[in-house]
A and B are shown apart, each in its own frame.
Chain A
């Protein structure tokens, strides 16, 4: 394989990994507050359809992205109220959100299937895009990819270096103790869940505005679920999520790569690759039981009721 092809493959891996990066960043913040939201796929689909409709009808791509984020957040608010206010089971509520979002997005988008839009144009960043190899892989993308870079850096800083990050982790590790020292646990969790929703929304918008760019029913094809695995893979660390997203991105385009190399494997078998890779990776990561226990937020998935604290 010549270097030009490798550069093209890695460029595509970054592009394919970007929606995974967005949604996994949102989910990791949510999980750090102790909440497991399995509604990612539903929120992402709603972000995809609403982002597409908004951009299609206004002609303004930025407006589409904004609408997708607001939609994702609104969806996550349903989850938040049920889980935080009514103490509903997080697994069941998340599943309901995914089923609801799958149906609602297909319902809303039914009249727009097959329409296409222009999509965000690629912007080559001056100087950086001239770096040999790396420039073409990383700095020749659309604006949302750069936004995902910035978002990763900001979240890395906020989670690891600021008081906000400390508060978030305190709530996720031990909500009772956090409550005792006066941290508003439910408020922190509301914000974390809604941030996750907004990121799922933008991730969906990336699919419908940049990646395809059009709206198709169920177009996210399980990326919301893969993102949940990605968070486990990254051991809840921001930096590793970025790396993991691009690795998963690479796995999802492997079928194109292998076909390009002249392998004659059925495209349907190769389409399984990202899902098989996800299972394999999860097995490898989780096999070390002790390590995962150490890394996962300790209250993850467990309800917290401040009324029991009196």
Chain B
């Protein structure tokens, strides 16, 4: 008979294998689902996974989507390590897009070399502010961070929609809820010709490396890790939990804000109501898939970006609703959490029942 046994030591092999196993199980599930709705599973999986990487334009688009996912996920990884349940990357991203766009519009007739850095800083600061308020409310008034950050996502969304209908709307835009197109002084340079890959992906990969450095090489990172692993021990050691909480939240907010402003002054080029197809929420899954490790997040963000691309292609080529993307993301996280069970447990096969 098969029994479940607790491992004496957590399996380090399963820690790495679990995300891969979860991806495999998600793909199998996807194949079954596609055949159930009468689509060819091999064609669907090809469109979802292979086609996004099939030519250089698509690969470029994949990197465009990877940038914001990774920026958000690196910040969230640190937050979750420190037991700060920040679900607000989406709102922080939107705040960054809004603040950055306002600044880019201010510089619309400028050719100053400072316009771009100031615009980026405005986005970063906006994201930080959007993270700072729920953090303050939690530390000062003990309010539930999960719920306040979620509420701030909705508030940011309506604020952005209000702005593109009102103060930031393009006066020459025939009444469409969009800002004017930004000008060269505030646009992020693209890295290659014939591709939309822009400087944002460099920021994103740098953020992964910086996140890794902070977490692995600094005393602050050590404190975060101890705090996440054993909160009473961290308190006993005298770590300042407020300082850690502020740090991870502002770090996450600034990265999400950077992601938001980079979207508007990067591939989009103006402020529109749908800046983000849920990047901030998907980044939660990226963070988990990457084992809450900033370098792991880089790999996980590639996979998630491929799924995003694949979702778009599946809609165009096979008429599969694009909602399939978030469905797969949810299933992926389910499988990941289930596979993680085997980090601390194992199956044992034996013929005799023991007492």
Query: Which of B146, B151, B165, B321 has most chain A Cβ within 10 Å?
Result: B151
Question: Which stretch (B114-122, B178-186, B193-201, B327-335) binds chain A?
Answer: B327-335
Residues of A within 8 A of B162 (CB): 266, 268-269
Residues of A21-58 whose CB lies within 8 A of B: 38, 42
Which of A221, A276, A283 is B141 in contact with, Cβ under 8 Å? A283
The majority secondary structure among interface residues of chain B is helix
Residues of B within 8 A of A106 (CB): 321, 323, 326-327
- Contact indicator per residue, chain B 150-170, by CB within 8 Å of chain A (1) or not (0): 111011001101100110000
Is the C-beta of B288 less than 8 angstroms from some C-beta in chain A? yes
Is the C-beta of A254 less than 8 angstroms from some C-beta in chain B? no
Quick one: closest B residue to A101, CB to CB?
B330
Quick one: closest A residue to B287, CB to CB?
A92
Q: Are A289 and B158 in contact (CB under 8 A)?
A: no
Residues of A within 8 A of B20 (CB): none
- Give Cα distance in the complex from A44 to B146, angstroms: 18
Quick one: closest A residue to B337, CB to CB?
A88
A104 to chain B, nearest CB (A): 5
Residues of B106-152 whose CB lies within 8 A of A: 137, 141-144, 146-148, 150-152
Residues of B within 8 A of A86 (CB): 337-338, 340-341
Which of B154, B166, B337 is A222 in contact with, Cβ under 8 Å? B154
B211 to chain A, nearest CB (A): 19
Q: Are A278 and B337 in contact (CB under 8 A)?
A: no
Which of B85, B143, B166, B337 is A82 in contact with, Cβ under 8 Å? B337
- Give Cα distance in the complex from A276 to B133, angstroms: 12
Q: Are A292 and B330 in contact (CB under 8 A)?
A: no
Quick one: closest B residue to A36, CB to CB?
B146
Residues of B within 8 A of A110 (CB): 321, 323
Residues of B within 8 A of A42 (CB): 330
Number of A interface residues in the complex (CB < 8 A): 48
Q: Are B284 and A88 in contact (CB under 8 A)?
A: no
Q: Are B158 and A272 in contact (CB under 8 A)?
A: yes
Contacts A110-B321, A289-B142 given; does A282 touch B161 at CB 8 Å = no
Q: Are A107 and B6 in contact (CB under 8 A)?
A: no
- Give Cα distance in the complex from A74 to B281, angstroms: 23
Question: Which stretch (A197-205, A224-232, A241-249) binds chain B?
Answer: A224-232
Q: Are A88 and B338 in contact (CB under 8 A)?
A: yes
Contacts A42-B330, A88-B341, A217-B323 given; does A225 touch B150 at CB 8 Å = yes
Is the C-beta of A137 less than 8 angstroms from some C-beta in chain B? no
Is the C-beta of A99 less than 8 angstroms from some C-beta in chain B? yes
Q: Are B337 and A92 in contact (CB under 8 A)?
A: yes
Residues of A157-176 whose CB lies within 8 A of B: none
Residues of B within 8 A of A289 (CB): 142
Residues of A61-107 whose CB lies within 8 A of B: 78, 82, 86-89, 91-93, 95-107
Q: Are A272 and B159 in contact (CB under 8 A)?
A: yes
Residues of A within 8 A of B284 (CB): 95, 99
A195 to chain B, nearest CB (A): 21
A-B contacts, CB under 8 A, total = 141
- Give Cα distance in the complex from A110 to B314, angstroms: 15
A221 to chain B, nearest CB (A): 8
Residues of A within 8 A of B82 (CB): none
Q: Are B143 and A283 in contact (CB under 8 A)?
A: yes
Q: Are B150 and A222 in contact (CB under 8 A)?
A: yes
- Give Cα distance in the complex from A89 to B287, angstroms: 14
- Give Cα distance in the complex from A102 to B278, angstroms: 11
- Give Cα distance in the complex from A155 to B199, angstroms: 56
- Give Cα distance in the complex from A107 to B329, angstroms: 13
Residues of A within 8 A of B282 (CB): 99
Quick one: closest B residue to A87, CB to CB?
B341
Contacts A232-B147, A268-B162, A286-B144 given; does A99 touch B329 at CB 8 Å = yes
Contacts A92-B337, A282-B143, A286-B144 given; does A103 touch B329 at CB 8 Å = yes
Residues of B within 8 A of A282 (CB): 137, 143-144, 147-148
Is the C-beta of A279 less than 8 angstroms from some C-beta in chain B? yes
Contacts A92-B288, A225-B151, A268-B162 given; does A103 touch B143 at CB 8 Å = no
- Give Cα distance in the complex from A147 to B218, angstroms: 58
Q: Are B155 and A95 in contact (CB under 8 A)?
A: no
Residues of A within 8 A of B87 (CB): 95
Residues of B within 8 A of A286 (CB): 141-144
Q: Are A99 and B333 in contact (CB under 8 A)?
A: yes
A229 to chain B, nearest CB (A): 5
19 A/B residue pairs, CB under 8 Å, sorted by A? A78-B334, A86-B340, A87-B344, A99-B329, A100-B331, A101-B330, A103-B323, A103-B324, A103-B327, A106-B323, A217-B323, A222-B150, A222-B154, A232-B147, A275-B154, A282-B144, A282-B148, A287-B143, A289-B142
The 9 closest A-B pairs by CB, nearest first: A100-B330, A103-B327, A103-B326, A106-B323, A96-B333, A268-B162, A88-B337, A86-B341, A99-B330
With A232-B144, A278-B147, A278-B151 given, can you name 11 additional A-B contacts, CB distance below 8 Å? A42-B330, A88-B338, A102-B330, A103-B323, A106-B326, A229-B151, A266-B162, A269-B162, A275-B152, A286-B142, A286-B143
Interface residues, chain A, CB within 8 Å of chain B? 38, 42, 78, 82, 86-89, 91-93, 95-107, 110, 217, 221-222, 225, 228-229, 232, 266, 268-269, 271-272, 275-276, 278-279, 282-283, 286-287, 289, 292, 307
